[in-house]
Chains A and B, each alone.
Chain A
Amino acid sequence: MSAASDAGVVVPRFGTRGKAWLALLGVLIVAGLGAWAYQLRQGLAVTGMDNVFSWGLYIMLFVLFIGLSAGGLIISSAPKFFHSKRYDSLAALGVLLSLGCIVVAGLLILPDLGSPSRVTGFLTSPDPRSPMVWDFGIVLLYGLFNVGYLWLLTRRDFAKMGSWLAFGVEDTPAGRERDRKFAFWAAAIAMPLAVGLHSVTGWIFATQIGRGDWFNPLVAPMFIMKALVSGLALLLVTGILVDRFTRFRFPRELVPELGKLLGIFVAVHVIYLVAAERLPHAWAAHFEFWSITRAFLVGDTIHFWLWTLIGGVLPIALLAVPSLRRRIKAVFVASVAAIVGILFEGVYLIFTGYHDLNIDAAPGVTTGTDYTGLEADIWATTGSYTPTIVELAVAVGLVAVGALIVTLGLRFVPIQPNDRTPVSAERDETTATTADPVATDGGADAEVAGDA
């Protein structure tokens, strides 16, 4: 393989470890497909859902992955919008991640459908009043935009590699300059698109009068904030891992910086927005000062605590202290915790919608899943839900599809900006070509890189 042919690609070839990783993903995807086939035959009865709790893990993860898909795009586009090159080294990786996540989110809808073959109805007889139709449109648009944007960011490097993926584009300094202008305009589209994606997904819930706390104007802003939190956290986690296992170089000085930004996002989300949401309710429902305070501070479900403690307190504690956030490990742990927290926020949201019935007089609602014979109790007056192994297997399989997309992206897309000084303000792309592919990795651990 010649030097030029893999310039900017952070995994020039799959080593043993890379192959093992691919094999693992393959196994997970096949297991997920198997589980889905089983579910198609048996029906959604093999999930933990019923007539009361009618959306479960798939929708919870859909919400999570919609959020995760934000970070990459925002981090890669926001600086461009201000003509800053500071985060250029993360731009392509970020868009690649966004793409992987939005694909997972879109695919997660399929196993949730009772009759997936009719999903074409979105195109043949859509109802423009349905927030789910809006979401379908914007998810599609967002996915396609990510593909185009990733190509725009990397096409000159593709050209340099001589890859057919350049689609005839040539690597010229003038061309790179022009692409930079295009990237500015793309960024100008990316941001409203991302805001739209998260708001619309929030409105799927926020428009529903019948499901308790869902009907809440704060849901859409919450979705945007949690997209910023989880998206940035995922970019940090992936960036750190990819830096460790491939030739990709995550500029070290960016870690505490982005860590600090993540801390601010978490604080706005978990402290400010949650307070803004809960305080009016607590105030209106209670009389004494301390009971108002208690109702405001003390959540009622385990999901609430998982979200606010693991996803809020822990990352803030790790990221607030400057000496801690300079440690990559601390930022890594904080980011993972933030993602786990956001996962449970989604779980919490779904539970608040389904736990209580508006009309809960006995015997309640027929569950539609519990008929075992004449004596069966098919009734429920509150919602409860535990995902089944089948749901978990399908979900893990789909997440593996996302991981596969990112992995193949690392292997075939030149996501590392093709010069040695990703952070410097003045870059001259024409001098970046070097005879030694290892040197283009920006100094990452060559042994590890070769192995991956």
Chain B
Amino acid sequence: MTDYGMVIDLERCIGCNACAVSCSQENNVSLDKQWNRILTEGGDAMDTPEGSYPENGRDGTLSMNHLPLACQHCDNAPCVKVCPVNATYKRDDGIVEIDYDKCMGCRYCMSACPYNARVFNFDEPKTLPTDGTGNVEERKQGVVEKCTFCSHRVEEDLDPACTVACPADARIFGDLDDEESTASRYVEKYETEQLLDELETDPNTYYIRGEMSPGRTRSGNELEGTEKKAVGNPNGVATDGGDGQ
């Protein structure tokens, strides 16, 4: 079986928002929403540290880190369990997806998701450019949407847009059921954390905290089980930039 998951190295993440931007472009996300958010662990505002500035030499306590957050594709996903009409479902490959033709917009799943990963189209989505850059399904007013691990890309053997966009190699996507995949090797080797794991949602997203992973170009063969898949079939729909229609 396949069980897609993601490893995010919080020590490598530089908070540049490249993944968030590429996510919004790839998936044509409305301007008033983001599927993928980069949170600042630190001060009260984005990109600000907590602690105090060093006044006398080395007595400063400033600290700041970034936490990229999107749907965690939980194994025990409460959003799937609450959806009254089976619009949200867990695919056999581990991806939690929404059938936009079934979703009736009750937003029970938004209450259920502890990560606030879901957004709702309160009105018609405002996108730029209006037909988007990917070939993702259109979401109309009145349905819920969220990160799909770029299932349209994954189906064409491509990594999700965020993973490809990350300049710091902080994201590794792969099959967690395959022990030889790079993602599995990272989970095996590094100390990882699942967010809010006390809630027992069992996410398929693992965060590395503490020791920094080497980055894919430097990791040598040891951790590279499956390569990064940035370029796919040139005739496939996921790579045509959306202007092929």
- Which residues of chain B have C-beta atoms less than 8 A from A129's C-beta? 81-82
Cβ contact of A52, chosen from B30, B67, B81, B116, cutoff 8 A: B116
Distance (whole angstroms) from the CB of B97 to the closest CB of chain A: 14
Distance (whole angstroms) from the CB of B64 to the closest CB of chain A: 10
Closest B residue to A370 by beta carbon equals B32
Cβ contact of A368, chosen from B33, B69, B196, cutoff 8 A: B33
Known interface pairs A121-B84, A361-B67, A371-B126. Does A54 touch B110 (Cβ–Cβ under 8 Å)? yes
Cβ contact of A132, chosen from B82, B140, B195, cutoff 8 A: B82
Q: A55 interface residue, CB < 8 Å from B?
A: yes
Q: A130–B84 contact, CB under 8 A?
A: yes
Q: B63 interface residue, CB < 8 Å from A?
A: no
- Which residues of chain B have C-beta atoms less than 8 A from A119's C-beta? 104
Closest A residue to B195 by beta carbon equals A359
Distance (whole angstroms) from the CB of B196 to the closest CB of chain A: 6
A361 to B42, CA, bound (A): 8
Q: B43 interface residue, CB < 8 Å from A?
A: yes
Please provide the chain A residues from 202 to 252 with a CB less than 8 Å away from any CB of chain B in the complex: 204, 207-211, 214
Known interface pairs A114-B143, A115-B105, A209-B199. Does A366 touch B119 (Cβ–Cβ under 8 Å)? yes
Q: B121 interface residue, CB < 8 Å from A?
A: yes
Distance (whole angstroms) from the CB of A266 to the closest CB of chain B: 29
- Which residues of chain B have C-beta atoms less than 8 A from A118's C-beta? 85, 102-105
Cβ contact of B123, chosen from A45, A125, A353, cutoff 8 A: A45
Closest B residue to A134 by beta carbon equals B84
Q: A126 interface residue, CB < 8 Å from B?
A: yes
Please provide the chain B residues from 13 to 54 with a CB less than 8 Å away from any CB of chain A in the complex: 30-34, 37, 39-46, 48
Q: A130–B82 contact, CB under 8 A?
A: yes
- Which residues of chain B have C-beta atoms less than 8 A from A122's C-beta? 84-85
Closest B residue to A51 by beta carbon equals B119
Cβ contact of B106, chosen from A125, A132, A357, A369, cutoff 8 A: A132
Q: B113–A114 contact, CB under 8 A?
A: no
Q: A358 interface residue, CB < 8 Å from B?
A: yes
Question: Which of the listed residues A43, A122, A130, A364 has the most CB atoms from chain B within 10 Å of its own CB?
Answer: A130
Known interface pairs A113-B104, A118-B102. Does A367 touch B84 (Cβ–Cβ under 8 Å)? no
Q: A366–B113 contact, CB under 8 A?
A: no
Question: Which of the listed residues A124, A365, A379 has the most CB atoms from chain B within 10 Å of its own CB?
Answer: A365
A31 to B123, CA, bound (A): 22
A112 to B120, CA, bound (A): 12
A370 to B119, CA, bound (A): 13
- Which residues of chain B have C-beta atoms less than 8 A from A49's C-beta? 122
- Which residues of chain A have C-beta atoms less than 8 A from B106's C-beta? 109, 112-114, 132
Cβ contact of A114, chosen from B30, B81, B82, B142, cutoff 8 A: B142
A72 to B32, CA, bound (A): 46
Q: A50–B196 contact, CB under 8 A?
A: no
Q: B87 interface residue, CB < 8 Å from A?
A: yes
A368 to B126, CA, bound (A): 10
Q: B2 interface residue, CB < 8 Å from A?
A: no
- Which residues of chain A have C-beta atoms less than 8 A from B41's C-beta? 361
- Which residues of chain A have C-beta atoms less than 8 A from B43's C-beta? 362
Q: B96 interface residue, CB < 8 Å from A?
A: no
- Which residues of chain B have C-beta atoms less than 8 A from A366's C-beta? 32-34, 37, 119
A358 to B196, CA, bound (A): 8
A28 to B110, CA, bound (A): 31
Cβ contact of B39, chosen from A132, A133, A363, cutoff 8 A: A363
Cβ contact of B110, chosen from A51, A113, A209, A367, cutoff 8 A: A51
- Which residues of chain A have C-beta atoms less than 8 A from B122's C-beta? 43-45, 47, 49-50, 114, 368-369
Q: A114–B105 contact, CB under 8 A?
A: yes
Cβ contact of B107, chosen from A114, A208, A358, A359, cutoff 8 A: A114
Closest A residue to B115 by beta carbon equals A359
Closest B residue to A350 by beta carbon equals B111
Q: B114–A210 contact, CB under 8 A?
A: yes
A357 to B81, CA, bound (A): 21
A368 to B143, CA, bound (A): 12
Q: B112 interface residue, CB < 8 Å from A?
A: yes
Q: A136 interface residue, CB < 8 Å from B?
A: yes
A359 to B71, CA, bound (A): 13
Q: A115–B104 contact, CB under 8 A?
A: yes
Please provide the chain B residues from 52 to 105 with a CB less than 8 Å away from any CB of chain A in the complex: 67, 69, 78, 81-87, 102-105
Q: A209–B78 contact, CB under 8 A?
A: yes
Distance (whole angstroms) from the CB of B111 to the closest CB of chain A: 6
Q: A106 interface residue, CB < 8 Å from B?
A: no
Question: Which of the listed residues B30, B48, B107 has the most CB atoms from chain A within 10 Å of its own CB?
Answer: B107
Q: B85–A125 contact, CB under 8 A?
A: yes
Q: B124 interface residue, CB < 8 Å from A?
A: yes
A264 to B113, CA, bound (A): 38
Closest A residue to B107 by beta carbon equals A54
Q: B84–A362 contact, CB under 8 A?
A: no
A294 to B9, CA, bound (A): 44
- Which residues of chain A have C-beta atoms less than 8 A from B37's C-beta? 363-366
Q: B233 interface residue, CB < 8 Å from A?
A: no
Q: B86–A367 contact, CB under 8 A?
A: no
Please provide the chain A residues from 85 to 138 with a CB less than 8 Å away from any CB of chain B in the complex: 109, 112-116, 118-119, 121-122, 124-127, 129-133, 136
- Which residues of chain B have C-beta atoms less than 8 A from A353's C-beta? 111
Question: Which of the listed residues B115, B140, B142, B195 has the most CB atoms from chain A within 10 Å of its own CB?
Answer: B142
Report which B residues bind A (CB closer than 8 A): 30-34, 37, 39-46, 48, 67, 69, 78, 81-87, 102-108, 110-116, 118-124, 126, 140-144, 195-196, 199-201
7 closest Cβ pairs, A-B complex? A114-B105, A210-B114, A121-B85, A114-B142, A371-B32, A43-B123, A361-B39
Report which A residues bind B (CB closer than 8 A): 42-45, 47, 49-52, 54-55, 109, 112-116, 118-119, 121-122, 124-127, 129-133, 136, 204, 207-211, 214, 353, 357-359, 361-371, 376, 378-379
Query: Could you show 6 A-B contacts with beta carbons less than 8 Å apart?
Result: A209-B199, A358-B114, A359-B116, A362-B40, A362-B46, A369-B123
- Contacts A44-B142, A127-B84, A371-B30 aside, 19 further interface pairs with beta carbons under 8 A come to A44-B105, A45-B122, A114-B106, A118-B105, A127-B85, A130-B84, A130-B108, A132-B108, A208-B111, A210-B111, A210-B114, A362-B44, A362-B46, A363-B45, A369-B32, A370-B32, A376-B32, A378-B33, A379-B46
